[in-house]
Amino acid sequence: MNTQKIVITGGPGTGKSSIINELISRDFICFEEVSRQVTLDARKNGVEQLFLTEPLRFSELLLKARIQQFKEAQTTNNTSVFLDRGLPDVLAYMDYVQSDYPKHFTETCEAHVYNKVFVLAPWQEIFVSDSERYENFNQAVDIHHSLLDTYQRFGYEMIDVPFGKIEERTHFILDHLNL
Q: How do the pLDDT tens digits run along the chain, 179 residues long?
A: 688 999 999 998 899 999 999 999 999 999 988 887 777 777 787 766 777 677 788 889 889 999 999 999 998 888 999 999 999 999 999 999 999 999 999 999 999 999 999 999 998 888 776 655 567 888 889 999 999 999 999 999 999 999 999 999 999 999 999 88
Q: Which CATH superfamily is domain 4-176 in?
A: P-loop containing nucleotide triphosphate hydrolases (3.40.50.300)
Please check whether residue 114 is in contact with residue 83, taking contact to mean a CB–CB distance below 8 angstroms.
yes
Q: What is the largest CA-CA distance in the chain?
A: 46
pLDDT at residue 31 in the model: 94
pLDDT attached to residue 131: 54
Per-residue pLDDT tens over the stretch 89-129: 999 999 999 999 999 999 999 999 999 999 999 988 887 76
Q: What is the 3-state secondary structure (H, E, C) of the chain?
A: CCCEEEEEEECCCCCHHHHHHHHHHCCCEEECCCHHHHHHHHHHCCCCCHHHHCHHHHHHHHHHHHHHHHHHHHCCCCCEEEEECCHHHHHHHHHHCCCCCCHHHHHHHHHCCCCEEEEECCCHHHCCCCCCCCCCHHHHHHHHHHHHHHHHHCCCCEEEECCCCHHHHHHHHHHHCCC
Structure confidence at residue 10 (pLDDT): 95
* Per-residue model confidence (pLDDT) at position 2: 82
Predicted structure pTM score: 0.91
Domain boundaries, the chain: 4-176
